[in-house]
A and B are shown apart, each in its own frame.
Chain A
Amino acid sequence: MITRRQLLRGGGASLAGVAALAAGLGSVVAAQKQKNATASTHRWGMVIDLDRCTACAACTVACRQENNIPTFGPEEKFDGAHIEWMSMYWDESADGAMPQLLPFPCQQCTDPPCVKVCPVGATYKGTDGITYQIWDRCIGCRYCMVACPYSRRSFNWTEPKWDAVSVQMLNPDVATRPAGVVEKCTFCHHRIKPLVEQAEMEKRPVRDEDCQQLTACAAACPADAIVFGDQNDPESKVSELNKSPRRFRVLEELDTGPNVVYLKRDKAE
């Protein structure tokens, strides 16, 4: 049987090993660079004017094309496995005689329930108001999906598929997502980033006119119903529309603070 002396000797050696490991970890920590914690000066937001919206669904098509969202056949569509970042939501509880259609992207909540629950930080809130998703880190637990009160997250139930023509038209700026991860609208942040960088290089503020139709959905809208912009810029069109008395936000009572704002239909018309 092992004696106490032998055990303590072995234990001491193990402890020294652990200490060496801890020292190694410390050096790794020291070597790790401080993450870029610079807060963004922008707070991106979207205003969707339902009075202008004709429910043509061009925004949903443009979004699909821009963000490499795989296509689905009718069987998968009605099976509930299809993916949509921008949907048309038929709001039966709408205030008014007629139900109305809402172009419905991720609401980019200020206090997003999906971010709170993600166990690995695969989704996080940027200082620019966008809720980001790191595809590669997602482990596919789908907790964010059940936590999202707006049901604005989709899971890749299978490998994405494109036909021979569609695959030629994939957007190289947006990564395709593998099976087993959750995805969502990102306010086309791949379009925002070069715009901000260009402005920084030229040492000028980002121009509001460059932003208004920046996202694919806003660019595709024939009725200019979707306006995108910086809510921190008091002169921006988004800020101006945000002051409208027709303004409302979906499920406002949950206090998630969506950065997507709707303008009610004008009944007078």
Chain B
Amino acid sequence: MADRTTTDTSTRHEELVSQTRPHPIWYLLVGIALLCVGFGAFCFWYQDHYHFITSGLRNLGFGGAPWGLHVGFYVIFVGVSFAGITVAAMARLFKVKELQPVTRLAELITITALISGSAAILADLGRPFDGVIKLPRYARPQSPFYGTFTMIGAGYLFSTLVFFFLAGRADAARMANQGPKLLRPLYRVWALGYSDSVQERHRHHITSYWLSLTIFPLLIIVQSTEGFIFGLQVGRPGWYSPLQPAAFVTLAGVSGTGVLIVVSLILRRLFSLRDKLPDSALRWLGNLMWVLAAIYLYFMLAEEMTATYAGPRSDRNVAHAIVTGVYAPYFWLTVVALGTCFVVPFYMFITKKSSITWLGVAASGGIIGAITKRLLIIVPSQTHGARIQFSSGSYTPSWVEFGFVVGLVGLMALLILLFTRFFPIVPDPELMKSDAYERAKKWPHDRLRITVTVAWALVSLSLLGVGLADSLRMWTGGNEIDPRIPYSPLLFAFGVMMMFCTAIVYEALPGSKSEDSHPEPSESVAPEETAA
């Protein structure tokens, strides 16, 4: 513990708590976010009460598009969520020290973006409250939407929550002593008995590694699923393409990194975190962003070239509407925005110059470009790509749709602002320096812990397997309309969530007597606690 003893514990506590003291403008931003959420909630009520006729969506083939802004922003929010867990997993797996300070913020962005995204897709349902009941009851894995409802909710969001929860335990234990008195019970729950012993650090080291390793493929699956929602539709020119999943993953990376940079810049000002969220972290993210933007621009070129050079008539119609037709302003705005997102950080990379303001501009370009591009994927194919077209189509979102989207963005902002007010957004850097892992290798295995963890994982896998098999209606070759086990999709989702909880079981199961009485003394988290 030589590394920790060199740091003055009380100074660390003070630094930890000082992160949550906001600039007065924080209150203004919270007020604006609350107003946005309120307006969004009103728009949702209005749409639910007066039905979808209040939206700009209409029947396909008769001049309308059944999918619009809601689906577009659902895809955008899920895309934004990419950055969070990727950054956290990269920081852990590849030991990228520059990214350590932004890991918690990145995870928070993932969680809040997925909450807003889930709200967007739920509000897009003609009968949203029915959807809440019927999806867990009847969901079919054969539909690409299944991934949306299970993998994103139960898998992606939940695994991020688990990661976020475990990574925050150490700071929560500190906040339980130093944070606002009213919230201390909550911090204690989050800390879940964490005492910052070497054994606990060792266990966290292991769980974070395995979670990161699990989350990476899950991340690719989830983002690809979004692409498959569109890419598998044979009857929809402009959508049906093997490029969709890969392109969705890439654009998700661009928008996610962009949001992470912009939010980091805002929080640096709001909470005086210039030292804690350093330029080096943002530059690293900028480099990741230009690489992804370059790949996506290449995808765009390939996409439009294929459609216009030799595509079938309906594909050409869509491509022409996008590049030179009614959607051209949005298309060229996308090109300029994504171009900025590539050129600026790339210029910084090759010249070794650094301008955080320009990086912010480039990140904003990435966000704008991702929003317009997602809408360009979704809308033109419906209005100009219908194979059987009864009349020419158009789509203009109504104020109700715009209002709801404003509410979703407000919700995301509000959750981030509130969290940063009550919890340190930059993890304690001391925790990253632990050498516990090396020393803990010498300790004997805690057999009971491993047995309980494995048993938990096996139960989870069983539930997951049974739930999935029954959701697939495997017993009757997929011919039955209903699953045999009521709510089997929910069983599957529950199994997935339980599986990720295995990490909590392993990490938070109280230590055995032999572990507790280990000669290696464990350092207490707070001087007050030690005194008590």
Seen from chain A, the residues whose Cβ lies within 8 Å of a Cβ on chain B are 1-4, 7-8, 11, 15, 18, 25, 28-29, 32, 35, 37, 78-83, 87, 89-90, 104, 113, 116-122, 124, 134, 137-143, 145-159, 178-182, 250-251, 254, 256
Contact = CB atoms under 8 A, between A and B. Distances in A.
Given A121-B481, A152-B388, 17 more contacts: A2-B510, A25-B485, A29-B484, A37-B479, A82-B59, A113-B233, A119-B139, A122-B138, A137-B134, A140-B125, A140-B126, A140-B131, A148-B235, A153-B60, A155-B52, A157-B51, A180-B52
Given A80-B58, A120-B134, A179 B139 contact: no
B302 interface: no
Contact of B234 (A3, A4, A156, A254): A254
- Sort chain B's interface into a size bin: 35 or more
B134 A180 contact: no
B388 A104 contact: yes
B139 A120 contact: yes
Contacts of A180: 51-52, 125-127, 130
Given A37-B476, A83-B59, A179 B51 contact: yes
Contact of A158 (B52, B476, B484, B485): B52
Nearest to A107: B388
B145 interface: yes
A80 B62 contact: yes
A117 B511 CA distance: 48
B23 interface: no
B142 interface: yes
A2 B137 CA distance: 37
Contacts of B78: none
Contact of A157 (B58, B130, B388): B58
B235 A147 contact: yes
Nearest to A181: B126
Nearest to A136: B130
A155 B130 contact: no
Interface string B49-66: 011110101111111101
B233 A89 contact: no
B59 A3 contact: no
Nearest to B486: A28
Contacts of B125: 139-141, 180
Interface in B462-479: 476, 479
B62 A181 contact: no
A142 B51 contact: no
B236 interface: yes
A11 B452 contact: yes
A243 to B, nearest CB: 26
Contact of B390 (A15, A151, A156): A151
Contacts of A122: 138
B138 to A, nearest CB: 4
B52 to A, nearest CB: 5
B143 interface: yes
Contact of B145 (A25, A119, A137): A119
Contacts of B482: 35, 121
A157 to B, nearest CB: 4
B404 interface: no
A89 B387 CA distance: 12
B386 interface: yes
Nearest to B387: A149
A158 B51 contact: yes
B67 interface: yes
Interface centre among B140, B393, B459 (most CB of A within 10 A): B140
Contacts of A179: 51-52, 126
Given A119-B146, A141-B145, A124 B481 contact: yes
